[in-house]
Amino acid sequence: MKQVYVWTEALGCAEILPPMLSSYTKHHDFQIHVFVYEEDLHYVSNLNGVVPVVIDNSKESLLNKAVLSEAYREGHKGTALLWSHVIDVNKGAFLIHLDADTIFLGDVVSEILDGLTIAGITGTRRPYRRTVSRNNVRKLHLFLRPDAVNTHAFGFRNDVNRLSRLELFNRILARNRSFPQRLFLPVIDFFDPMTFYLRRKNGIHYLDSRDQSRSGEYSRYGNFEKKMISFAAVGSGYSFFHGFSKAPSRPYEEFAISSYSLYSKYLLRKEIEAAPLKSDYLEDQLKKLDVSSWTIGE
C-alpha cells in the first residue's frame, strides 16, 4: 500500500481537539497529523497515535504562522493555503482529511482506504442536482453536474504532480476560472473544483450510497456516517465567539457559534454564553455517548 497520511487542523481553535483525538485513537491504528499553532501544542502533546505539526514563524515550519493566520481571517483562504502545502509535500500518498469537530464511534479510515482502491477520491455525496438556486440558469447547470464529496471525512489519491502549490491553492478555492467555466461548470463549496479534477483523472467512489450514479442523496444515517458524530463549523464558531475572526454573514455567525456552544456543552463540559444549536439528533447522540469507549450506549 502507498503511504497513508491522515490529517486534521485546529489553527486558533485547538481547545476543541481533545475529544476528537481521543475518539480517533480509540478506533484507529493509523497516526493522525494535527496542525496547530505553537501556543496550542499542549492540547496534542503526549498522545499516542497523534503527530503534532507545529505552525510557527521558524524556517522549519511548513507555513509561516503570520501568513497563515492572516489568511484564516478570510475563512477558506487559510484552509486552502494549508491544504495546498499538505498536498504538495505528500505527492503519491493516500491523503485522508478528518474535521477537528468530529467524534469517532468506529473506524472510518479503513473504509476510506477501501474506496481509494476503486477510485481517485472517495467520501459521502455532496449533492449537486438537489442544490437550491434562485438563478434558473445556474440551477440547470448544477442539475447537470455530478455530485462532489463532503470534506469532513474523505480521502484521495495524491496524483496531482503536475499542479504547483499556487495552482492547487487556486483550484481548491475555484479562483482564476474563466467566465464560461463559472457559468457552465458551477461549484457550490470549498474543494469541489479539486474533487472534479480528481474525478476526471481516476474516478470517484461515493460512500453510503445505494449506487455509484452521477447523482444521489446524502444521509447522515448511512453505515459510514454512523461511525461518527459530525458537527459543522465548530472551529469557526470558536473563532467568532472569542473574537479571533469575523464571519462572512450574520446567519453563518449565529449558526457557527450555536454549533460551538453545543459541542462545548457536551464534549468540553463547558457552557458558553450562547444558545446551543437545536438538533434533536445530535443531542440524542451526545446524551448516549460513552466517552470511556467512544461508543453510543442505550
Tell me which residue of 154, 171, 151, 173 sits closest to 163, measured CA to CA: 171
Contact present, 55 and 78 (Cβ < 8 Å): no
User: CA 223, CA 153: separation in Å to the nearest integer?
Assistant: 13
Contacts of 140 (CB under 8 A, 6+ apart): none
What pLDDT, on the 0 to 100 scale, is given for residue 20? 97
- The matching CATH number, chosen from 3.40.1130, 3.60.70, 3.30.70, 3.90.550, for 4-229 is 3.90.550
Q: Please report, in tens digits, the pLDDT of each residue of the chain (298 residues total).
A: 679 999 999 999 999 999 999 999 999 999 999 999 999 999 997 889 999 999 999 988 889 999 999 998 887 889 999 999 999 999 889 999 999 999 999 999 999 999 999 999 999 999 987 776 667 777 777 787 899 999 999 999 998 768 899 999 999 988 877 777 777 778 888 899 999 999 999 999 999 988 999 888 888 889 999 999 999 999 999 999 998 888 889 999 999 999 999 999 999 999 999 999 999 999 999 999 999 999 998 7
What pLDDT, on the 0 to 100 scale, is given for residue 56? 93
User: CA 204, CA 226: separation in Å to the nearest integer?
Assistant: 21
The full set of domain ranges for the chain reads 4-229, 232-296
What pLDDT, on the 0 to 100 scale, is given for residue 162? 81
Contact present, 214 and 146 (Cβ < 8 Å): yes
Contact present, 102 and 229 (Cβ < 8 Å): yes
Could you say which DSSP state residue 217 is in? -
Contacts of 85 (CB under 8 A, 6+ apart): 62, 63, 165
Grid coordinates representing 249? Answer: 454573514
What pLDDT, on the 0 to 100 scale, is given for residue 133? 65
State the pTM of this model: 0.94
